[in-house]
Amino acid sequence: MSEVDVRQIVPSTRDLLQVVSTRRRNLALVGEIGPEGAAAEAARLDEANVSAFAFAAAGDAMTEGARSTKTVPSLCLTAVATREDCQRARFFGADGVCIDVALPPAEWDALAKIARGMRMLPLALVRSDADVDLAMKAGARALLLRADTAAAVIALARRAPRSVTLVADVAQQDEGARVASSADAAALRSLAGAVDSAVVPPAVHAAADFAELVADVDP
C-alpha cells in the first residue's frame, strides 16, 4: 500500500455535501466499492448515476476509484480519530470523513476543522439518540446514521432536524465497529423520505435490477 506523503495532499475539489443533501425529496445513492477492481466498479457506478462512492477505509482502492472520475466524490466510512487519519483519508482521495461523535467535544471540533481545512465534509458518526443530540450540540451539518436495520436508522433520523443532511449506513457491527453494509433493495427503498442518502452495498448495486432502484428513489 502507498505511503502517505503529506506534501502531496491537496484540498478536495468535489463537493460531497452538495450531492448527498437532497432535503429528503429523494434518496441519493452512495455506492460502496470494495478493495478489488475499484476503478472498474467506480466507472460502472458512475454510469449508473450514483451520487457518490463509499469506501470502508482509506487506501489504494479509494485512490483508484477517485481517479476514475472527475466529478463523483468519495466518502471514507471508517471513523477518523486523529489529524493523521484525516490526512490519510484525503491523501487517498476522500472528499468526506466520519468523526465519531462520542469523542470529547473539543477533539470532535478539532477534527472537523482539520477536515474542513482540506475541504472535506465532516460527518458526525452517530449510533443512538444520545449521539444525535451530541451531534446537534457540536453543530454538525451532516450525520452518518449507522445502525443494524433500516428501521433503526429511520428512528435516528426522526430525531434530527430537517436542516441537517442525513446519510444512512445500514451495516453489521461488532462491538460498535462497522463490519459490512447489510441493506438490501427493500431496506433502501424504505429509507426514501426519511434520510437524504444511503450507502449501497456491492451486492445491491451489482444486481441486474439496480437501475430500477436508482429510478425509483433518485429519479
Full-model pTM: 0.95
C-alpha–C-alpha distance, residues 150 and 186, integer Å = 9
Q: 2 exposed, middle or buried (CB, 10 Å; 0-12, 13-18, 19+)?
A: exposed
Confidence check: pLDDT of 7 > 90: no
Average pLDDT, stretch 165-183? Answer: 91
C-alpha–C-alpha distance, residues 153 and 144, integer Å = 10
C-alpha–C-alpha distance, residues 149 and 96, integer Å = 23
* Chain position carrying cell 468519495: 74
Cα-based distances in Å from 58 to 4, 115, 128, 143, 216 = 11, 14, 25, 19, 31
Confidence check: pLDDT of 1 > 50: no
- What is the structure's pLDDT at 2? 58
Confidence check: pLDDT of 177 > 90: no
Confidence check: pLDDT of 63 > 60: yes
The pLDDT > 90 percentage for the chain reads 90
Confidence check: pLDDT of 3 > 80: no
Q: Which domains does the chain have, with CATH numbers?
A: 15-217 (3.20.20.70)
pLDDT digits (tens, 9 = 90+) for 126-171: 999 999 999 999 999 999 999 999 999 999 999 999 999 999 999 9
Distance of CA 192 to the CA centre of its chain: 16
Average pLDDT, stretch 69-96? Answer: 96
